[in-house]
Structure 1
């Protein structure tokens, strides 16, 4: 059957690109609703109390405590947030600006003057995950629960389309999975539900496809927030295509990672999200079709 005949047979059927656009439009609307909610405004008010850290300090934090969501000093956690650093927790060492007074000779050399200069000193901060006490107002991203129809076929198809190994791991840091760009491998936390496992696999494969060094093609690396927005949005789009509802998890997750009150960050990435989701769905369908053909031949041979 040629393309024209297909069109005549299903005149009302939407193209895959139209279906994906509908899903990503729904994503944008859902995230916007989270942004406009009172709960998100509460979270922003809470976030405003934290200091903004320099790029160097962000790198220092990421190197010492990769899963840190929020950081603050020991006393700040106590006074501002009613939380206590747990006994035995090791501080994250960063650089804090400070002013020094030094004695300096005047240009005429006749007398000296006291001048103030800015320098740096090493201080310790602690991640939210290292503290306990009053809960902070955060966007809810409770783990997804439930089984997936044709789970093993979808699981195998995702492993098939991924150019790097995917392995199950007992991850203790609290994250559901991660892509290790240096080792070129994906780790997925063991013991999760079927739907959470599939969504996490798609999320990490999206990181590999869009954000790995080998796939940047000389482009400037994106900030961490944008990477997470893109990966989670692709996971939502692909899951929705296969009838898996991750909206409650995704909308809060994306809103929590975005950097402002508007959906600008998401809007700027939507075309990349749509294109990558389309490519992934095509690859998954192809992998699942290959598996069906293999199963069919195996059954015929067993007769």
Structure 2
């Protein structure tokens, strides 16, 4: 190829950054943010409760909140239980203190002066929320396509090579929720939803392999572990770069996915992760393309005119 892998990776990550920046400036992104602002940001404890009860949950809200968003919880759906804070103020009587000395103040009758104060107290109650997959109704504003379509040349060979590369075994299995796949370090496997297009399957598989390579808590110190939003930005960025390298355009899907997870942070997470995105994408690309047919596929996608010329030369020699 005319370009080295390193040059190609730099070109693709630049394209990724520019595409997301353009999306930030669009009206679609403003509409998306307005809708997303209606979702609560949950504490670490509640995030764990949601994860344990519904591992594939992506957007959760209460019954009433979903109605305001134009969606209805489906019949017979089992809610996700979390702890909702219930702050209130408790009335207490306190002895008055001298602000300078801190000593108790006394009245003419020799008794301590008393003042009424209100002490803030937080109690918790069990509240029920539902994931978007448990609802139906009006579509929420989106900033990209929700599904990739199309076939992939050399699909079986690419899939097999990704399976060999993966740190976790790959299993095709249906599961509840709207996610297309997940990497579970607890279950020690990657699960991919069957029945998707070849393009969506390859993109999802690369995304989950990136998680498995970058985010295994067993291989990271507490300081190295990242928040979920950073993990998703890294995994989807790797998937975008790898797929683009082989001529599989996931721009509309990946740009929206990354921008959705980065909302409020602009491009800071993406830029902070560029080194690991480069190295992980490069490793996956090198694992996929050693054979001549796949190498020619990548070269054909990147230099279609030159490929046509070479093809004609080969035919003329016959």
- TM-score normalised by the chain length of structure 1: 0.83
Give CA-to-partner distance per residue, 1:29-49, whole Å, 9 cap, x none: 111111111011001112223
Is residue 39 from structure 1 mapped to residue 43 from structure 2 by the alignment? no
Q: Which moved more, 1:264-273 or 1:119-128?
A: 119-128
Deviation at 1:264, TM superposition (A): 1.6
CA drift of 1:167 comes to 1.5
Looking at structure 2, the residues matched to 99 and 155 of structure 1 have their Cα atoms a distance apart, in angstroms, of 52
Which residue is equivalent to 1:300?
none
RMSD: 2.5
1:220-259 alignment, distance < 5 Å: 220-259=224-263
**Matched residues in 2 for 1:151 and 1:167: separation?**
17
Deviates more, 1:204-213 or 1:104-113: 104-113
Deviations 1:149-187 (A, max 9, x none): 111211111111123211111233221111111122111
Correspondence for 1:57 among 22, 26, 46: 46
1:138 aligned residue (136, 139, 142): 142
Report 1:276-291 matches (<5 A). Answer: 276-286=280-290, 288=291
Match of 2:118 among 105, 115, 118: 115
Q: Which residue of 2 aligns with 1:69?
A: 58
Choose from 60, 74, 78 the match for 1:86. Answer: 74
Contact 1:178–1:204 (CA<8 Å) still a contact in 2? yes
* Structure 1 equivalent of residue 194 of structure 2: 190
Distance 1:90 1:229, change over 3 A: same
User: 1:201-257: per-residue Cα shift (whole Å, max 9, x none)?
Assistant: 111110010001233255431111111111111011111112211112111111122
Structure 2 stretches lacking a partner, 5+ long: 96-110, 296-318
Give the direction of change, closer, same or farther, for the CA distance of 1:54–1:195 in structure 2 (3 Å limit). Answer: same
Decide whether aligned partners of structure 1 residues 132 and 151 sit closer, same or farther in structure 2, where only a CA change above 3 A counts: closer
Q: Secondary structure at the match of 2:211?
A: helix
Instruction: Give yes or no for contact 2:72–2:137 (8 Å, CA) kept in 1.
Output: yes
State the partner residue of 2:13: 24
Number of equivalences: 278
Aligned mate of 2:131, from 107, 127, 130: 127
How far is 1:28 from its partner?
0.9
Q: 1:45 to 1:131 in 2, by over 3 A?
A: same
Residue 5 (structure 1) aligns with = none
Once residues 29 and 267 of structure 2 are traced to their aligned partners in structure 1, the CA distance between those partners, rounded to angstroms, is 13
In structure 1, what is the Cα distance between the partners aligned to 2:193 and 2:7? Answer: 34
- Equivalent in the alignment of 1:297: none
Post-superposition Cα deviations, 1:120-167, rounded to whole Å, max 9, x if no partner, equal 222222222222232221223332122211112111111111232111
The 1-side partners of 2:254 and 2:89 are apart by: 51
2:218 maps to which residue? 214
